[in-house]
Copies of this chain bind each other. A is one copy, B any other.
Amino acid sequence: MDIGSILIMLAVLIVLARIGSRVFGRLGMPGLIGEIVVGIAIANLTIGDTSFLGMLDISIGDHPSQNYEVVEIFAELGVIFLLFSVGLETKVKDLISVGRAAMLVAVLGVIMPFIAGFALIQVYDGNIHHAMFLGAAMVATSVGITARVIKDMRLTDSKESRIIIGAAVIDDVLGMVILAIVVGMTASGEISVVNILLIVAEALIFVAAILAAALWAVPRIYNHFEKKNKENFEKPGKSRLGVNKLVLAIAVCLGLSWFADTIGLAAIIGAFFGGMLFAEYAWEWKLEEKIEAITTLFISFFFLNVGMQVDLGTLTSVSTVGLAVIVILLAAATKYFGCGLGAKLGDRSLSGGSQSIIGLGMIPRGEVGIIVASVGLASGAISAELYAVAVVMAVATAIIAPPLFSKAFRKMYPPEYRLTQDDLI
């Protein structure tokens, strides 16, 4: 293992990401857009005969170099710890209180993009497999993008944020169901109802178990330790029971991420629920600032990596670019109106501004859309052209939505909320 090569790559990438973030921040846009743009730039930049990535010993593709694997692991850990920290700020009862609205936001926000994507490709090339996969790639919101904006604006506590996060969890389950249907249909022409019921059942049991743990088991464990420690405190010679809180939190975060991944959910959904288990004690244990330090180390690699998926060389034909533009517009509009409508149906008290925030927050597809498209590409169900379109759609929605989202949020909440994560000199 060439540790020197890894160290300099990490240092260079983290500095470039930070520069991108600052420049876009100065332009009044969320910093993560700058990080994605830096990702696109470095993946497509060639100096002389050497690609920029080559200089950092990064190679993407079927045979990734070790350095790129490090980027991928850091990216995944970054979004895992980001969602864990969102979980730390989300109390179970707050999430349950927005359950109805979140459910309708998710359902309408899944159905509308799928129908739109499906119909568009049916018109474009008439291939039903293409149509199904592009529809599926347009379904799943990547909550990592929106979560970062929410965290940076310190607005995790707002009702709109809670609805978005809750809807993203349900959206992920529905996205899995749709992917399972689409894969089944393209592979064998059949839908395995048992399989789909299994996916839904696993997800429901997982969520129910976590909610039960958060509401019932965790407070009891906590009180047990508290009581024991009080008793031992009074008896000389007895030491206090205890665990390192940060290590406990890290272990739960990684363990539940693994578990969610294993049952077919996104790892970040597990991380989010893991964070929620600690929500009542995060402040007392100073967990938030510690997890935030860890997130800072990793998270830029997530946004860089989203950008690095874009190969500008695939966007040379006019018809591809035209298709991509239409797909991007449809992907944005269907989530915006679908989720906004769902929010209103679920909670009549929501204002137009809140609907707008929720609709915008659900637009980014990010890595989830890319993953769905790669499944299609690998199975031969979609063409390289459609794959490129899906990737561009995923990245473009991740770039378009955050500025509009943060602007709408800023309008709704007074400026003192508008702190960014940069603590300036």
Contact = CB atoms under 8 A, between A and B. Distances in A.
Contact of A18 (B243, B258, B424): B243
B18 A297 contact: no
A267 B425 contact: no
Interface stretch (A66-74, A140-148, A186-194, A393-401): A66-74
A3 B258 CA distance: 8
B14 A250 contact: yes
Given A18-B247, A290-B289, A296-B246, A262 B425 contact: no
B14 A242 contact: no
B267 A424 contact: no
A14 B422 contact: no
A262 B200 CA distance: 52
A297 B251 CA distance: 9
Contacts of A72: 1, 3
A421 B290 CA distance: 14
Interface stretch (A4-12, A90-98, A404-412): A4-12
A202 interface: no
A258 B7 contact: yes
Contacts of A419: none
A240 interface: yes
A294 interface: yes
Nearest to A252: B11
A229 interface: yes
9 contacts: A1-B72, A7-B261, A18-B243, A18-B244, A66-B69, A229-B424, A244-B422, A245-B423, A294-B294
